[in-house]
Amino acid sequence: MNNIFSPTEENIARAAELIRNGGLVSFPTETVYGLGANVYNTRAVASIFEAKGRPHFDPLISHIAEVEFLKEYAATDERVIALAKHFCPGPLTFILKRTDSNPSIDLACSGLSKIAVRMPDNKIALNLIKKSGVPIVAPSANKFKAVSPTTAQHVRESLGDKIGMILDGGACRVGVESTIIDVTEKQIVLLRAGGTAVEEIEAFLGEKILISDGNPNKPSAPGQLLKHYAPKNSLRINVTRKQENEFLIGFGNVEDADLNLSPSGDLKEAAANLFAYMRLADEQCGNKTLAMSPIPTTGLGLAINDRIKRASYK
């Protein structure tokens, strides 16, 4: 099946409809080709990790088409808006604080209180985002650990027909991922070097940027702490028998589960429900502690186990 399409207005409209309906679309940006899904559709977001074979639910970057939308989507201030107006569209990603606890974007944010956002400098990407009417989350469109794709054919060779549509915009202009900066504190921190030079950002700001040292005891990037994604109540994992004062989150055919990530044992469904169900469990368990059934360690199960291990860390 040939799923590579020229970026005509008709094909971009079809791709936008696919995004809205929970499908996956690969599209060009100025950096690399992205594997895109509707940020508000958790099953679609889970499909990204499944298609890539990505072992962890690393936070994904939301792609937007207008700088002003930042104010609706995340916590901003004059500095953030000034940076965005100067560098966007372009290969610069902002780590911002979320303004609400909307559970539908928990999976895209790995359950964290921060969100990654950027505005790509590519007419096809911007047109797709506008026609979709939703932010599009999109890591690079390649298998985990494979080289990032800079052409539509690269995407096709890496992911085959796991994607509904690949919009062919030719070779990417920049060819390396975006620079990521955390702007949630007084001093900005560089989390990943990329297509926007740090010196350019420093020159615009008139101040130095800290460089992340990746120290898990002093985290500067999402997902570095051992205890992360944690519910308010204590959590016991790999539970085959529920104790008297426990609220059980099940997986598969578990008769005494209070909630079930996927009664049919579907790992994609479980991944899509994970963060939302941990929130629900906190709300519904009363004075009980939380417990979770064993999850297979294959496919998306690796990512689920990574998250619940961190959530249960004492």
Which of the residue ranges 96-100, 207-211, 235-239, 273-277 would you say has the lowest mean pLDDT?
273-277
- Confidence at 314, pLDDT banded by 50, 70, 90: low
Q: Is 96 within 8 Å of 114 (Cβ atoms)?
A: yes
Residue 299 burial (CB count, 10 A) = 15
- Is pTM beyond 0.85 here? no
Residue 214 is predicted with a pLDDT of 55
Domains and CATH numbers, the chain: 4-211 (3.90.870.10), 235-311 (3.40.50.11030)
Which whole number is the average pLDDT over 68-94? Answer: 94
CA proximity to 166, closest of 48, 15, 9, 283: 15
pLDDT tens digits, one per residue of 242-294? 999 999 999 999 999 999 999 999 988 988 888 778 888 988 999 999 999 99
Which whole number is the average pLDDT over 138-148? Answer: 85
pLDDT tens digits, one per residue of 17-47? 999 999 999 999 999 999 999 999 999 999 9
Q: Is 27 within 8 Å of 169 (Cβ atoms)?
A: yes
- Confidence at 230, pLDDT banded by 50, 70, 90: low
CA proximity to 198, closest of 211, 187, 185, 186: 211
